[in-house]
């Protein structure tokens, strides 16, 4: 399997059980932009039915496009998105 296919299998494996909490570290890192958006839309639908999501991503534009609450981890502290000093 390619890196992107492995990523998709991992995502499918994680969401098939409809967990209460889903933690995803760079879930779209090896995906093309269209597939990345589709994966994030799937995550959003899970969130709408009560699944709590914690997604680590460097693709801030993708996160912002979905209108999700965003926080930053900076020097070991969680900060509201408007405090992102690296943007």
Enumerate domains of the chain plus CATH numbers. Answer: 3-69 (3.40.50.300)
Pure H helices in 1-85 = 3-15, 33-48, 60-65
The pTM assigned to this predicted structure is 0.72
Cα distances (angstroms) measured from residue 32 to each of 7, 21, 35, 55, 72: 11, 25, 5, 18, 24
For 81, residues 6+ apart whose C-beta sits below 8 A from its C-beta are 69, 70, 71, 72
- What was the pLDDT predicted at 3? 75
In the chain, which residues have pLDDT < 70? Answer: 82-87
Other C-beta atoms lying within 10 Å of the C-beta of residue 24: 18
């Amino acid at each position: 399997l390619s890196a992107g296919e492995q990523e998709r299998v991992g995502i499918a494996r994680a969401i098939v059980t409809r967990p209460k909490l889903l933690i995803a570290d760079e879930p779209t890192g090896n995906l093309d932009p269209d597939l990345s958006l589709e994966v994030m839309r799937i995550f959003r639908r899970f969130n709408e039915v009560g699944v709590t999501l914690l997604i680590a991503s460097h693709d801030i534009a993708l996160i912002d496009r979905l209108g999700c609450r965003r926080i930053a981890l900076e020097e070991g502290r969680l900060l509201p998105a408007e405090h992102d000093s690296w943007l």
